[in-house]
A = this chain, B = another copy of it.
Amino acid sequence: MGERSVTTRERIIKAAVKLFHGEGIRAVSVDAVAAKAGVTKRTLYYHFRSKDNLIAAYLETRDQPNLVVFRQWFDEAKGDVADRVEAIFQNLARSARHPKWKGCGFLRTSVELINMPGHPAIVAGRAHKKRVEDWLCGVFVEAGIEGPDARQLARQVILLIDGAFSVVLLHRDPGYMEAAGAAAASLVRARLATGREKDRPNGAPTATGDQDSEGDARDEDA
């Protein structure tokens, strides 16, 4: 594995991210990715066994950054857990206002590959969503919510996030993102309230919150 090969491989992945995320997996040909990467198709096939392989690489690239952005948005927000969760939606709404915003690549890929349940890209999508859910679950547990309730709540917030991705993509109206945020905050507060009856009067310890925003989660695009 020479140094130069890594560069070429990364250039191909970068092109794949832009095109696959921007136009969809089935709408983009391998030739198009190769062209955008400034590489012959044969070179692309030297670095990736198949198009499916390249698709998986594209999503694996997005996993970590997406999760980091979520954490960042949560950490830098002010207020209690409910406020911080709602802040995620507000940031998502800001991203969605960019005309090139294309929703969630994991969700969209799972739709495009609906009849290939074992496809590595689907597996990657499931893992990513689970990772976000687990992080949220941990956040809620730290806020004093019982394990099973925290899990259920995390799932409900995930449902609202992914619902917002889908609905905003359809209607192109970020207002839905804010409605989802309000719903999430309401659910978190309700859960916090039921727990508070046997716990101390204040639900969550206030976290830090200093990092700068920007990152936008709108996945590449020129």
Contacts and interface: CB of A to CB of B under 8 A. Distances in A.
A179 B156 contact: yes
Interface residues of A, number: 46
Interface stretch (A4-12, A57-65, A77-85, A167-175): A167-175
Contact of A170 (B27, B103, B129, B155): B129
A155 B129 contact: no
A73 interface: no
A164 B159 contact: yes
When all copies of this chain in the complex are counted, the total is 2
Say whether chain A's binding surface is mostly helix, strand, loop, or mixed. Answer: helix
A70 interface: no
Interface string A16-36: 000000111011000000000
Interface string A102-121: 11001110111011010000
Interface stretch (A46-54, A136-144, A183-191, A205-213): A183-191
A126 interface: yes
A204 interface: no
A156 B180 contact: yes
A158 interface: yes
A92 interface: no
A165 interface: yes
B169 A166 contact: no
A198 B175 CA distance: 29
Contacts of A163: 158-164, 166
Interface of A: 22-24, 26-27, 102-103, 106-108, 110-112, 114-115, 117, 122, 125-126, 129, 152, 155-156, 158-167, 169-172, 175-176, 179-180, 182-183, 186-187, 190
26 contacts: A24-B114, A26-B27, A102-B114, A103-B111, A103-B114, A108-B114, A110-B166, A110-B169, A111-B112, A111-B169, A112-B112, A114-B169, A122-B170, A126-B170, A129-B167, A129-B170, A152-B182, A156-B160, A156-B180, A159-B160, A159-B176, A159-B179, A161-B163, A165-B166, A183-B183, A183-B187
